[in-house]
Structure 1
Amino acid sequence: MSDCAVAVAGAGIAGLTAALSFAAKGFSVTVIEKAAHLDEIGAGLQLSPNATRVLDRLGVLDRLSGNAVEPRGIVLRDAASLASLACIPLDAAEKRWGAPYLVAHRADLQRVLLERVREKENITLETGVAVRGATFGRTGVTVELDRSPVERRLAAGLLVAADGVWSALRPLANANRSRFTGHIAFRAVMSRRSAGLDHLTQPDTVTAFLAPDFHVVAYPLRGGEEINLVAVTKGGEIRPDWSNDADTAHLARATARAAPALSHLIENTQAWSAWPIHAVEGDGPWTHPGGLALIGDAAHALTPHAAQGAAMAIEDAALLAELAAHASDTETLLGTFERLRRPRIRRVARRGAFNRFVWHAGGPVALARNLALRLRSPERLAADMDWLYGYDVKTER
């Protein structure tokens, strides 16, 4: 299939990674993005070794390193007492898993991906263009584009839908709709100097504060100059958007059982935005045999409890391109892609559900959790992540 053209809908992390992955295999790629300008949006994200090894191969990891931070561990603390429960060591991530564990601002990653995309002669980036639909024929897919008031069509051998959890292209595959999970993520990015976190977390760690029905995660961004805060609580459904105005009164009530120092931080942070956590069950179709593949959140949006949303999108993009370079036809490619990715996504989703249950536990379950964590050595905690962080798409066939 290496001589066919590829259309990618969406210029987020999934779409740009897909474009670079296909371009690296010799495909001609057109990226279509409905936003006229690719503004800096979002907050922090965690990039585990299974993702950074892909980014390294695409030539973007070195460009990101100046703004990213390589934490030395993931620390779990009790939100009420601030007692340390466990630490998953990350300082030897590259030696153990073959690639670093990084935390970075989403906008920084998107920026370096865009820089790389614009350097590639076989990638065309079109902004301010909406994908209105697609029709499938024997020779490929015709993508219907709209740059108001002009409509046109683009012929491709494959359409990659990387347009996120609220995907407009998901219905083309008769895939599952997104559903609101009943949880809201409150997010803020602030200066390290103004955050007042020194007595709550170390500047070179990812720290998760666990409590019944909520958790708070803090980690450094942009060389440690900024701090990313995420608080996940139960809540009613709000407008499906990445950055709604936050109901800080709800956040304060939901985290009322936190230690005074943590409560003070939450209440005095001014930059909170709210994101309704939607998920897409991964058991529905992700492809149309005529030439459509959903990747990332468009296919199988995960809750953030395993911090693997971006990593799974990056894996999807890299594997799809790897398979396309060797596939004899589109239908075989798409069937193989689903067959290989489904077990992986199911296992990651189970890990996220497990984390949510354990992190939000209370009473006797929380006491049992704390005891189990104290009995596990740092080496054992790191080994528990080998299957996740040590994964390499190049070994899939």
Structure 2
Amino acid sequence: MDSADRTILIAGGGIAGLTAALALAAEGFSVRLFEATHEFGEVGAGLQLSPNATHILRRLGVLDHLLPHAVAPTGVVLRDATTLRQLAEIPISDSTDRYGAPYLVAHRAAIQQALLATVKAEPRITVEKGAQVLGAEFGAEDVTLSLVRDNSTATIKGALLVGADGVWSSLRRFAHQGQPAESVFSGMTAWRTTIDRATAEALGIADIIRFDKVSTFLDPAAHLVAYPLSAGHALNLVAITRGTVGTQGWSQTDGKGALSGFLSRLAAPLRPLQTLPAWTRWPLYGAPSGLKWTGHRLALTGDAAHAMLPFAAQGAAMAIEDATVLATRLAQHPGDVARALSAYEAERRPRVDRVLARGRLNRLAWHAAGPIAFGRDMVLRLKGPQSLSRDLDWLYGWKEPRASR
């Protein structure tokens, strides 16, 4: 594939798609990105971006736009949800010195807007909103997309299709001979809300949920994660509980029984969280097992390839890593798309599998009870902050492949 004149098509304008567009453009490819919605809205709440992701965003020019709206927390604190006893703290204030890039927390909308601002300044990228991908035909030398936009249909040709259309991807089927590849409900639900600093102070929780840290409160049936947003002017709250299957969409508000039960078990200083009215339900889905990430002139990235639960806080980071590895391998094998895609999947799968395994371990540890919880607490106490930090070097210290070329 000649990077000078072959256009790459991307379906999906979230973090995965926008980062892929920037990474591909940085390698000299022309990109057309199609987003189904007519406007990029403030979907979702906060996200954690560890150094394995932020060093890529810095190279692509995104951090210049994001930093004024982000916070660099000093540590990740684990506490017992019912007693508030501190179990451990993992320092992350030295992330830039240790890994060469910061650990940041920010609103998803701020990250998306930073990506969009960078995309708009890149002449190799064209973004089309309100363009829903209906289908694709994969030929020997190109791919043809069928789109609907403004109530009319159109066809677009390109050299490659990148499926970045999220956890409920409709493009997965093209990697599986047209067979369905539906997401799988995890049995867990994320309840999200955001409050400003004044509300946190009025509720009396600002001394417990710090505005300079990521705080996690552990319970056998659930856990609560809290961290600052909007340059420290707001607080993101996420409660993960057992849940039921939801519709394909975010911001649902029904079925709050599990959330209410968890919030009522919190230590007394945190129980004012029960009074917050704006919790929304996000049923958590994962990608189906055995999913192929590539096909003939097709590459899946981010949640479309490997949607993961938030127990390792790496969903966005893995999408950002995917983008740079895919772009690098395509640039390294310009005349052999099949070889480039094979190299992309072979390189990414072991890394993503390890992150998924870390998430499963965290889920077991954070929702532990009885002897398992006792053992968890002992291990955390014996290891100490610096040892716990070193345990994450493999994750946070990952560098994009182009850095070693």
TM-score by length of 2: 0.95
Match status 1:187 vs 2:195: no
Alignment of 1:1-397 (within 5 A): 1=1, 2-3=3-4, 4-174=6-176, 176-195=181-200, 196=203, 197-265=205-273, 267-281=274-288, 283-289=290-296, 291-327=297-333, 328-394=335-401
Q: 2: distance between equivalents of 1:315 and 1:376? A: 29
Q: 2: distance between equivalents of 1:380 and 1:242? A: 37
Q: 2: distance between equivalents of 1:304 and 1:201? A: 19
- The Cα offsets for residues 196-249 of structure 1, whole Å up to 9 and x where unpaired, read as 322322210000000101000000001110000000000111212121124334
Matched AA of 2:21: A
Residue aligned with 2:356, SS: helix
Residue aligned with 2:134, SS: strand
Q: 1: distance between equivalents of 2:226 and 2:174? A: 38
Matched AA of 1:7: L
Residue aligned with 1:194, SS: helix
Q: 2: distance between equivalents of 1:231 and 1:366? A: 19
Residue aligned with 1:233, SS: strand
Residues 241 and 258, structure 2, Cα contact 8 Å, conserved in 1: no
- The Cα offsets for residues 122-149 of structure 1, whole Å up to 9 and x where unpaired, read as 1111001111111111111111111143
Matched AA of 2:362: N
TM superposition shift of 1:116: 1.0
User: Size of the alignment, in residue pairs?
Assistant: 395
Q: 1: distance between equivalents of 2:286 and 2:236? A: 22
Matched AA of 2:255: D
CA-atom RMSD, angstroms?
1.4
- Name which of structure 1's ranges 325-334 and 14-23 shifts more when overlaid on structure 2: 325-334
Q: 2: distance between equivalents of 1:10 and 1:380? A: 39
Residues 166 and 303, structure 2, Cα contact 8 Å, conserved in 1: yes
Q: Which runs of 5+ in 1 are unaligned?
A: none
Residues 246 and 272, structure 1, Cα contact 8 Å, conserved in 2: no
Matched AA of 1:240: Q
- Name which of structure 1's ranges 74-83 and 170-179 shifts more when overlaid on structure 2: 170-179
- The Cα offsets for residues 47-100 of structure 1, whole Å up to 9 and x where unpaired, read as 000000010011010211111000000000000100111000001011111110
Q: 1: distance between equivalents of 2:91 and 2:26? A: 33
Residue aligned with 2:260, SS: helix
Residues 168 and 183, structure 2, Cα contact 8 Å, conserved in 1: yes
Residue aligned with 1:126, SS: strand
- The Cα offsets for residues 302-356 of structure 1, whole Å up to 9 and x where unpaired, read as 0000000000000001110111111131111111111000100100000000000
Q: 1: distance between equivalents of 2:214 and 2:254? A: 23
Q: Which runs of 5+ in 2 are unaligned?
A: none
TM superposition shift of 1:282: 5.5
Percent of aligned positions with the same letter in both sequences?
A: 48
Q: Which runs of 4+ in 1 moved over 3 A?
A: 246-250
Residues 65 and 117, structure 2, Cα contact 8 Å, conserved in 1: no
